[in-house]
């Protein structure tokens, strides 16, 4: 089976706080390219941005606004070829759209676990309100054009994920491999960190899809028939 994975688009309502950074027509060309080359496309969380409303606590309304702002992409995502898993920025999609928090696929003798990865973060697990408040504050920094301060917030968020290519130091990878062990998966595929990676851990493989926000293109290709797994940062 040939599978493509994209995550962390952060599609918003097209205001100044929107992180997506693509013209929808250009991103549709990218999706058509994936559709022509892969049997399945996994949308691995934070597809929509629902935490940046002008007043807090309006995730369902923000999800509706984001979907209304990107109708062609939403129609594409509804095709049977796509599988949508929610993350922490689009957590409400679990309730509103029925998006699960993980997906397990088996093909050609390979068992794969797909999960966004936000459950690794202790702040999200123990004090989700604090994490969501930080995202909301960051959106207001963008609206006020305090970009240097916003970048400081972003850098702090990246450090808190404890994600690094070094498997000895990366607690995110250790968490993901533990989840793979629980699900008896050969491959664990994550998003969340915006840091694309491919790291072998003995008989198991850790993959991260990076991000398609802020104008970037990043995706994973999984070919279970050929045993080829790769991270791509352009198309």
Q: The domain that contains 21 carries what CATH number? A: 3.60.21.10
> What pTM was computed for the model?
0.93
Q: What is the pLDDT of residues 150-161, one digit of tens each?
A: 676 666 666 666
pLDDT higher than threshold 90 for residue 144: no
For the cut 70, the answer to whether the pLDDT of residue 14 exceeds it is yes
- Report pLDDT for 92: 97
The pLDDT of 18-42, averaged and rounded, is: 96
- At residue 136, does pLDDT exceed 80? no
Among 14-18, 131-135, 143-147, 181-185, the range scoring the smallest mean pLDDT is: 143-147
Mean pLDDT of the chain: 92
Per residue, what are the HEC states of the chain?
A: CEEEEECCCCECCCCCCCCCCCCHHHHHHHHHHHHHHCCEEEEECCCECCCCCCCCCCHHHHHHHHHHHCHHHHHHHCCCCEEEECCCCCCCHHHHCCCCCEEEEEECCEEEEEECCHHHCHHHHHCHHHHHHHHHHHHHHHHCCCHHHHHHHHHHHHHHHCCCCCCCCCHHHHHHHHHHHHCCCCEEEECCCCCCEEEEECCEEEEECCCCCCCCCCEEEEECCCCEEEEECCC
d(CA 232, CA 235): 7
Residue 116 lies in domain: 2-232
Domain count, the chain: 1
Give me the pLDDT at residue 132, please. Answer: 83
Of the spans 136-150, 165-179, 218-232, which averages the highest pLDDT?
218-232
Whole-number Cα distances in Å, 68 to 11, 87, 110? 10, 20, 38
Lowest mean pLDDT, pick from 23-27, 52-56, 228-232: 52-56
What average pLDDT does range 40-50 have in this prediction?
A: 98
pLDDT tens profile 73-107? 999 999 999 999 999 999 999 999 999 999 999 99
Q: Which of 115, 210, 90 is nearest to 158 (CA)?
A: 210
In this predicted structure, what is the pLDDT of residue 159?
63
Lowest mean pLDDT among 6-20, 38-52, 72-86, 178-192: 6-20
- Give mean pLDDT, residues 10-34: 94
Percent of the chain with pLDDT over 90: 74
């Amino acid at each position: 089976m040939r599978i493509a994975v994209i995550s962390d688009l952060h599609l918003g309502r097209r205001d100044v706080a929107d992180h997506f950074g693509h013209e929808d027509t250009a991103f549709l060309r990218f999706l058509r390219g994936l559709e022509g080359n892969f049997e399945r496309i996994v949308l691995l969380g934070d597809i929509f941005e629902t935490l940046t409303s002008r007043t807090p606590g309006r995730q369902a309304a923000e999800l509706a606004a984001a979907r209304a702002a990107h109708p062609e992409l939403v129609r594409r995502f509804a095709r049977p070829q796509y599988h949508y898993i929610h993350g922490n920025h689009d957590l409400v999609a679990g309730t509103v759209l029925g998006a699960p928090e993980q997906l397990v696929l088996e093909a050609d003798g390979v068992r794969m676990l797909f999960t966004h990865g936000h459950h690794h973060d202790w702040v999200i697990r123990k004090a989700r309100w604090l994490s969501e408040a930080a995202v909301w504050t960051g959106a207001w920094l963008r609206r006020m054009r305090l970009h240097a301060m916003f970048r400081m917030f972003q850098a702090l968020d990246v450090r808190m994920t404890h994600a690094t290519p070094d498997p000895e130091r990366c607690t995110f990878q250790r968490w993901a491999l533990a989840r793979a062990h629980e699900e008896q998966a050969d491959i664990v595929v994550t998003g969340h960190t915006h840091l694309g990676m491919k790291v072998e851990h003995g008989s198991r493989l850790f993959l991260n899809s990076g991000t398609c926000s802020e104008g970037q293109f990043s995706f994973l290709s999984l070919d279970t028939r050929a045993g080829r797994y790769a991270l791509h940062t352009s198309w």
